[in-house]
Structure 1
């Protein structure tokens, strides 16, 4: 009986030590990996009358709209000191902004260190639509996924 308990105890301890070692080594490896996407930066979609759609969302769903759609502010980290934003924007259905994609939507992903990410994505064979552009609110570049959906990558200047 004591031998069975001892073997069971040793097996359980070995399991927990292995689990702890894996958790520690995985955490250490993840710290060395570059973050890619850190969140959704915006949702963009085509519609026949962006002004009318914006007004509808303002009236019926209470979005606090502006000339670019609506901006949702939230906190990026648990300590509630780093504010972030997600943009919601209806575009005219005739917009060329989503090209070369023929889809009626585009997602903007927030990223960290856009230049390093671009270099990595180039090595991975990702298709680029343009090169990095910098504005007072951040850096942008556009890529295509495997189905030709245009994706906007944004490194915000917060």
Structure 2
């Protein structure tokens, strides 16, 4: 079973997310919005399958990264999230929450061996 297929997003804490988004827009040309910036690309050789990677600065006091105390969280794109979560449970991996579904895909959070919270995302087709 194919597990991680790519990086879905990079999330990090900062004192002033709005100012950080503006700085990256001004100095590095990121096309930012209220959530950060989205980088679009095509999956492999198939120019009909568009993918994306999200870049998001979060307020330094966010609780979204908990129970991890780290300043960052990585979102990994995966295939077949339900099956993957079952396999991870059998392997003793800590699953933080239940799978949630949205228009843009399914999500769940896990903890790695050093306490980093990881977001797993199966994009909607």
TM range (shorter): over 0.9
Q: 1:1-20 maps to which residues of 2 (within 5 A)? A: none
Cα drift, residue 52 of structure 1: 0.2
Point out where structure 1 has 5 or more consecutive residues left out of the alignment: 1-33
Which is strand-richer, 1 or 2? 2
Give the paired residue count. 125
Q: Paired residue for 2:97?
A: 130
Work out whether 1:102 is the aligned partner of 2:64.
Answer: no
Question: Runs ≥4 in structure 1, deviation > 3 angstroms?
Answer: none
Bigger-Rg structure (1/2)? 1
Work out whether 1:51 is the aligned partner of 2:18.
Answer: yes
Match of 1:73 among 26, 31, 40: 40
Work out whether 1:89 is the aligned partner of 2:56.
Answer: yes
Q: Give the Cα–Cα distance (whole angstroms) in 1 for the partners of residues 95 and 83 of structure 2.
A: 14
Cα drift, residue 79 of structure 1: 2.7
